[in-house]
Amino acid sequence: MKQFFAKGFVVLLAVMMVFTILSRAADSFLVARVFAETYSAKKIEHIVNTEASVQKNLEFPVMTEPGLLVRTVYVEEGSVVKQGDVLAQLDEEHLEEQMGLLSDEIKTLRLQNEAIAENRALAEEEKKRQAQRAREDYDKAIKKNEENLRRAEEEVKQAEDAINRFAGGAGASMSQEESEAKKTQLWQAYFDKKQACEEVKRSGADEVEAAARALEDAQVKGAADRSSQINAISIEQKEKTLEAYQKLASSCGTVTAKEAGTITGVLVAAGQMTGDTAAFTMASMVGGIRIAALIKEEEARYVERGDVVTVEKNGTTYEDFSVTAIRQSADGSVEIMAESADHADEFLIGERAVIRIVKQSELYSVAVPLSAIHTEQGKYFVYVLDQKPTVLGTEYFTRKTEVRIVDKNSSYAALEEGTLGRDNLIVTESTQYINAGDRVRLQKS
Amino acid sequence: MRRVAARFCRMAILIIFAVFTLGPIVFLVGGSIMGDEEIKSYLGPVLSGQEGYAVWRLIPLYPTLRHVVEVLLDAPEFFHMFWNTAKITAGVLLGQMILAVPAAWGLSRYAFRGRKLIYQIYILLMMMPFQVMMLSEYLVLDGIGLVDTLWAVILPGAFSTFSVFIMYRFFAGIPEDIMEAARVDGAGEWQMFLLVGVPLGKTGIVSALLLQFLECFSMIEQPIAFIKDKTLYPLSMYLPEIDVGRTGFALCASLIALLPTLFLFMAGSDYLEQGIAASAIKE
Amino acid sequence: MKKKHTGILFVLPHFIGVCIFLFLPFLDVVRRSVFRAAGSFSGLENFKIVLGNDAFRLAAGNTLRFTLVCLPLLLVISLFLAVLIYGTGKTAGALKNAFLVPLAIPAACVVLIWRLLFHVHGMVNGVVTALGGTAVDWMNTGSAFYVLVGSYIWKNLGYVVVLWMAAMDAIPGTVYEAARIDGAGRAASFFYITLPCIRPAAFTIVVVSFLNSFRVFREAYLVAGNYPHDSIYLLQHVFNNWFMSLSVDKMAAGAVLLAIVICTAVSVMQRMWENQ
């Protein structure tokens, strides 16, 4: 019995030793090993990476003179042309013909203008003579009028004098009745003369006015006639057209590209007349490269006009593109445009390229790796490590801390300040699923 | 007839007291193999404030080894503290074996000068409870810089005078003629100690060490005072700290913690008895 | 016994250790008890402070009360049991072991059981109410004292029983034989033979039990922690508190006081035994 317990004691110690090792092993197997770090200040980078295609940029017309017969069209839509390439050939005979017609028309118009000039010289001579006469009539009328008026005023004066003389004693010898009669007679004569004078004045003024009108009429120029000027203009136009025709003729009637580019529209056809509108439309690369891509709606949040776009094509990277337009499309995706003013000769319309837009946020003071964020019922939280002195030494225990995400990308999340302490170790990775309050082993990274 | 009745009565009284002393172990054994649900249903009033009073069942209705497994495999801290206790115990016992046994031998067999004084000092120190020695021990341990190490508990224990006292009794009981015979055979003093003293005083040594072992395993005051570092806590400070909610676990841990002392007790109860008796028989 | 100086070589290593770790520091504490913490001599001032300290008085009172209640109780019960066992013959060993088991149970292992038993809703109250009594809040009222008394008896019963039996074993069987022939009954032989014969041993038994009563702090601490109910606030609690606040002067004075009380008590008991 005693032997049994003495042996039992030794066995017991051995068993305890074995289970010490086993429980340690079980512990290290079961306890989650975690990586943890404190939060850091970070800018959150948002990267939009997608395939894009090169778009036509500025489109412009290739004009030619209207009304010319097109003989051959050498290009079609999508053709890439160099500067000076022949796009179409006009019919030269028709051109010559048109040139002949035009110079005839110009000749005719010139002759017309000469005739108009001669007629106008004759008419002006006549007009001048008539004006001369009117002037003379007018002067005469004024003179005569003045004479008549002077005479009438003389007579008024005489009548007045007669009244004054009578009043001064000439009539003293006469009886009262006689003098009264005489006085009345005299005053009557005075009033008559006065009236006659007024009459003369009025009629004289009328005559002068009539003469003045005649003079005015004579001085007025003849009816306005601009036809010669109009003719001059059309001569000028026709001469220009002619000149253009001559130029065309000198280049054998070819329509050429003035810049390198791509034909985007052919508006003429062989055997038809050229119209007033463009003969071709072209997109030139000279104005810059435009690239379009479709991105997802959630990515679009991070793209703004003016953002720098990196374009990668055939192993070459171009850094000087920037976003010029962002358009929401009906299916939920967003179309963005990016342009560069350069590299005209390195891109072709319709080519595919990979674009990348890297958008850096403001500097967030609290940022953690995205792997630290857990979610539960729509709420986000992280596990913070608490140090506690335990029997087995200082150990770490997890504590759930709810956080609000301000911004995030595929590797980092920025959190609202205030919930996490500067020294808090935040679990970023764990070998096992962990719960709040779990004991964990911190791996030094 | 009257004798039989008296005998029965006597046994009944003794058994009642035996139940009183053994009860806790039975309680621990039952609780260790009881499932959490069952424990909760019995101890609800204590653990979760239910109405009524807690009850107990010595043998579980639905025994399970879950808590045993939990303690053995899922509680490394339990073992850590167990070995802390083991280290303390081993240190103390080793110290006593190397130093206290010869000291007891020297005190009991030789009449050198100052022997009486040393003996008096030992008795005095043996009588002093920890309350009295606490400050003295602390001051010296602090001076050497041993506070907050296991040595703070081991060293004062290793120089405990109580075991010297017990062993003294046994060494003193060895008849002088055996010693004389050995001397005649030409044995030196150390040979006599090792070849005569130790074998003959074996009971005393074992019983003293056994008592010291039991003391070490339930040591509380010294670690409270001298050890602040939790990693150095002995098992006796761990058990009371287990959550109330883990009653089954705590009971099982207590039982397992109790096993070493219980095994040694069972193996050495005779020695123990003699050791205890030795402390009371007058010189 | 040989008068040889080699003897001191056996003792010296241990004695040096004892001096370093126990004895000299103890003397230092005695010295400190009459000095202020700052270092100046203060005479008995520290003792006055300690004796006037409410916590110390409460604890000293409790300790004294505890000793006065426990010692007689323990000694009587254990003697009674020892006598009972003494007559059982073969089963004696097994029973002694059963009583000794608590000695092998670390206090920490039974703490939980104590808590379950003496909780307001615990099993003891269950039994009490089933028997028609009223429930008692054991841990938070003066009843805590009796829990502690129970713990002490539980722990030390076997120890003292063994001591009593060792003492009784030392009585030669022939003495009883002679008494029986003289016609003495069992009771008579107990009172006239057993008791007088074990009287010398009783001294050590009392002293050992007395000294062990200072260790009951263990149970008190485990059950109730650092701040137990007033009725079980023991000297060790006071010392622990002073220790926490590093009141070295108070601790020194308290320790010296306690040492004096213990030495006095033991020598008084010794005197009593010798005079009888």
pLDDT digits (tens, 9 = 90+) for B182-212: 888 877 888 888 888 888 888 888 888 888 8
Residue B227 pLDDT > 90, yes or no?
no
In terms of C-beta density within 10 A (0-12 exposed, 13-18 middle, 19 or more buried), how is residue C54 classed?
exposed
Please choose, from the candidates A416, A424, A413, the residue with its C-alpha nearest in 3D space to the C-alpha of residue A43: A413
Residue B171 CA to residue B110 CA, distance in Å, equals: 11
Q: What is the dihedral of CA A179, A180, A183, A189, to 10 degrees?
A: -120
pLDDT digits (tens, 9 = 90+) for A85-95: 888 888 888 88
For residues A143-162, give the mean pLDDT: 87
Residue C24 CA to residue B81 CA, distance in Å, equals: 32
Please choose, from the candidates B85, B230, B228, the residue with its C-alpha nearest in 3D space to the C-alpha of residue A394: B230
Selected residue of C19, C112, C151 to mutate for chain B interface (largest B Cβ count, 10 A): C112
Please choose, from the candidates C227, C176, C258, the residue with its C-alpha nearest in 3D space to the C-alpha of residue B134: C258
User: How far apart are the CA of B62 and the nearest CA of chain A, in angstroms?
Assistant: 25
**Across A60-64, A219-223, A363-367, least confident range:** A219-223
pLDDT at C276: 62
Enumerate the residues of chain B whose CB falls inside 8 A of the CB of residue A22: 72-73
pLDDT digits (tens, 9 = 90+) for A308-321: 888 888 888 888 88
Q: Is B243 on the interface with A (CB under 8 A)?
A: no
Listing from the earlier edge strand, what are the strands of the sheet with A70-73?
A70-73, A86-90, A254-256
CA A12 to chain centre: 94
pLDDT at B283: 40
**What DSSP state is assigned to residue A436?**
T
The answer to whether the Cβ–Cβ distance between C108 and B238 falls below 8 Å is yes
Phi, psi of A369 (to 5 degrees): -60, 145
The answer to whether the Cβ–Cβ distance between B240 and C200 falls below 8 Å is no
A9, A22, A393: residue with CB nearest B263: A9
- Which tokens in the block code for residue A321? 């593109």
pLDDT at A409: 78
Instruction: Check the CA dihedral A112-A117-A122-A123 and report its sign.
Output: positive
Give me the DSSP letters along B79-124: HHHHHHHHHHHHHHHHHIIIIIHHHHHHHHHB--TTHHHHHHHHHH
Q: Is B74 on the interface with C (CB under 8 A)?
A: no
The 3 state secondary structure assigned to A366-406 is: EEEEHHHCEEECCEEEEEEEEEEEECCEEEEEEEEEEECEE
Residue B61 pLDDT > 50, yes or no?
yes
Q: Which of residues 224-263 of B touch C (CB under 8 A)?
A: 224-225, 235-240, 242, 247, 250-251, 254-255, 257-258, 261-262
Phi, psi of A275 (to 5 degrees): -105, -170
Interface partners of chain B (CB pairs < 8 Å, 3 or more) are A, C
- pLDDT-based confidence at residue A222 (cuts at 50, 70, 90): low
- Average confidence score pLDDT of chain A: 82
- pLDDT-based confidence at residue C4 (cuts at 50, 70, 90): low
Selected residue of B135, B191, B259 to mutate for chain C interface (largest C Cβ count, 10 A): B135
For residues C131-136, give the mean pLDDT: 78
Neighbouring C-beta atoms of residue A445, cutoff 10 Å: 8
Q: Which of residues 79-108 of B touch A (CB under 8 A)?
A: 79-83, 86
Q: Is B214 on the interface with C (CB under 8 A)?
A: yes
Block residue for tokens 């007024």? A198
**Across A173-182, A318-327, C188-197, C255-264, least confident range:** A173-182
The answer to whether the Cβ–Cβ distance between C13 and B99 falls below 8 Å is yes
Residue B244 pLDDT > 80, yes or no?
no
Chains A and C touch, using 3 or more CB pairs below 8 Å: no
What is the ipTM metric for this complex? 0.84
pLDDT at B1: 64
CB B265 within 8 A of CB A2: no
Residue B94 pLDDT > 90, yes or no?
yes
User: How far apart are the CA of B227 and the nearest CA of chain A, in angstroms?
Assistant: 12
- pLDDT-based confidence at residue B87 (cuts at 50, 70, 90): very high
pLDDT at B211: 86
Residue A248 CA to residue A257 CA, distance in Å, equals: 14
pLDDT at B186: 78
Residue C219 CA to residue C216 CA, distance in Å, equals: 6
| Residues found in chain C | 276
Name the residue in chain B with its Cα closest to that of C167.
Answer: B281
Block residue for tokens 């810089």? B145
Residue A174 pLDDT > 60, yes or no?
yes
- Which tokens in the block code for residue B222? 């010294």
- pLDDT-based confidence at residue A268 (cuts at 50, 70, 90): confident
Residue C2 pLDDT > 60, yes or no?
no
Residue A417 CA to residue A15 CA, distance in Å, equals: 52
pLDDT digits (tens, 9 = 90+) for B149-158: 999 999 988 8
pLDDT digits (tens, 9 = 90+) for A370-428: 888 888 888 888 888 888 877 777 888 888 888 888 887 778 888 888 778 888 888 88
Please choose, from the candidates A93, A79, A68, the residue with its C-alpha nearest in 3D space to the C-alpha of residue A271: A68
pLDDT at A221: 65
Residue C195 CA to residue C171 CA, distance in Å, equals: 10
Instruction: Check the CA dihedral B55-B58-B63-B65 and report its sign.
Output: positive
- Average confidence score pLDDT of chain C: 82
Residue B45 CA to residue C211 CA, distance in Å, equals: 38
CB C250 within 8 A of CB C51: no
B79, B81, B86: residue with CB nearest A23: B79
The answer to whether the Cβ–Cβ distance between B112 and C26 falls below 8 Å is no
Angle between helices B202-217 and B76-95 (to 10 degrees): 140
For residues C133-141, give the mean pLDDT: 78
For residues A54-64, give the mean pLDDT: 78
Enumerate the residues of chain B whose CB falls inside 8 A of the CB of residue C126: 52-55
Question: What are the C-alpha distances in Å from B30 to residues C25, C28, C210?
Answer: 47, 50, 35
The answer to whether the Cβ–Cβ distance between B106 and C84 falls below 8 Å is no
CB A413 within 8 A of CB A373: yes
The answer to whether the Cβ–Cβ distance between B83 and A20 falls below 8 Å is yes
Neighbouring C-beta atoms of residue A129, cutoff 10 Å: 10
- Which tokens in the block code for residue C239? 């010392």
Could you tell me which residues are beta bridge partners of residue A360? A45
Name the residue in chain A with its Cα closest to that of B261.
Answer: A9
Q: Percent of chain A beyond pLDDT 70?
A: 96
pLDDT at A279: 83
Residue B90 pLDDT > 90, yes or no?
yes
